[in-house]
Amino acid sequence: MQQMEHDVKNRMMKRLRFVYGDTSSGIFEEIEKIIGAYRGRIPAAKTAWSEKDSFLIAYGDSITGGKNPLSTLHGFLKKNFKDEISFVHLLPFYPYSSDDGFSVIDYREVRKDLGDWNDVKSMGGDFKLVFDGVINHVSSQSRYLKEYLAGNLEYAYYFISLPPDTDTSSVLRTRNLPLLHDYDSAEGKKWLWTTFSRDQVDFNFSNPKVLLEIVDILLFYAAHGATMIRLDAIPYMWKKLGTSCAHLPETHELIKLFRDIFDVSAPHVILLTETNVPHHENIAYFGNAGDEAQIIYNFSLPPLILWSMFKQDATVLSDWASGVKKVSDRTTFLNITATHDGIGVRPTEGILSVDERMELCELARRHGGDITGKKNSDGSISPYELNINYFDAINDPHADESIDLQIRRFMLSQTIPMSFIGIPGIYIHSLLGSRNWTEGVRKTGRARTINREILKSNELEKELGNPGSVRAKVANEYRRLLKIRSGCKAFHPGSPQEVLKLHPKLFCLRRWTEDGSDELFAIHNISSEEVICRLPDSIEGAYRDLLKGEVFKSGEVSVPAWTALWLSSF
């Protein structure tokens, strides 16, 4: 154990030297002090993942009513999904000033209108909790910026101040907003780096004091029950003029440093990076042989599922998925279709053409959604994300068709992430069959609100108690699918995956355990027509569809429209 820790410390020193040069020894000593301060304060836990795991994404106040929102959400999930959901990602529950929580005022407090740390601890008794590390930027109302602007020397280089005429054209932008905003300080006007908005001011990680503060915050989260930490907007952490300021080597080294710190202080804590970028850039956050983030979002999956079901052709999805492989036993994917944000368009770069991406944008608008753009280096604007509820992205809200057909089509889209290598990630509004919340958009004027409806617990329970309601039908089908999935070892996040191209209208995966004890074929008909396909000649014996119980022998298989089969050997 001592030798292992010694090796980790050597890695930490190497990373610090790469980023901070000659000052690395002093920084390392300070990190050791922080780790020592948390020794004995971080609860031991096991978070090894398995086929029984699933991941729910929710705001602390996604469901209101009762004592307070956090206890209400906890009670609701414990009552309705305790056996199906293992990880609960509580989106930022700290005091904030904008961006629905992602402009943090105080990292170490729970919003009083949500509850307190005891409510968080209570939820952690039933679910493995995921906290957000919103560490690229902080609220303009935070103590850090206030002290900086007041001239407190302790905070002198916490932020990046530049002349207003600085050439920042090379910087990758995800917003159609200025990169530099002006603030009044004790020394006069200062223009500070703001990747996302005026209210979200970027930290200056070239200042070791910032790094040390963030290390303390991350370990504070582990001490308060986090078993996974999501690193929000992490590609933009390190800034260097003349570059894109995205995915820089220093950023990767700092994430690896965080991983090393947890390896010696809280080895059960998992790092999840939020990198909504093209696939080849996304998977780089696994690092070298899995020494960086343990989990990354599979951000290409949501738009490609949408595209495939829109075109009723799985060719593009199959071609892309053929290149998605297991990286190591210590890493895996979080497979989603929806989150609190929109459906990313950038992850399709290099997969869909510009015209095809514009088709997706037009589809979203026809189905009642909107588009958020990003500013390019040449000043032009291109699509960044589709702002729409995933149910309504998959289904035309204006179509003259039965709601049961729409539910069937939607649930097929949700079955694909459950079949794919990794862990299924489910947004609460997908789990509960929500639709576009256009009323919310009108209230806030923000496109992302369309997928952030706040539900009242009494009304929600009433709908779930009505077996004929959309919410009940969707939630019950989720329970059924997740229960079946949890009993199939071939769905372990580490089980290998192979794409089978049996028919253009079918998305087919072979999953199997490495010891050969279990094998499964997941076949998804992403079209409105029945498809008859022939299984490969190498497949012998009989297979039972875990979803319907039907038995198939080797040879031809009939797959109904908008239907999935999970064929398991027996």
- Whole-number Å distance between alpha carbons of 30 and 24: 10
Neighbours of 163 (CB within 10 A): 8
- The number of C-alpha atoms within 13 Å of 125 and in the hemisphere containing its C-beta is 9
Neighbours of 46 (CB within 10 A): 8
Per-residue burial over 538-556, b if 16 or more Cβ lie within 10 Å, else e, is ebeeebbbbbeeeebeeee
Angular region, 526: left φ>0, alpha ψ -120 to 50, beta rest: alpha
- Whole-number Å distance between alpha carbons of 283 and 486: 26
Four-residue CA torsion sign, 381, 195, 93, 126:
positive
Closest CA to 60 of 112, 128, 108, 98: 112
**Is residue 99 flagged as an active site residue?**
no
Angular region, 125: left φ>0, alpha ψ -120 to 50, beta rest: alpha
Distances (CA, A) of 235 to 158, 231, 284, 285: 19, 9, 11, 9
The single-letter DSSP state of residue 104 is: B
**Chain centre distance of CA 422:** 13
- Whole-number Å distance between alpha carbons of 344 and 368: 17
Choosing from 119, 199, 232, 518, the catalytic residue is 232
Find the DSSP H helices in 85-194. Answer: 117-124, 143-150
Closest CA to 196 of 185, 206, 181, 186: 181
Angle between helices 403-419 and 301-311 (to 10 degrees): 140
- The residues carrying an active-site annotation are 232
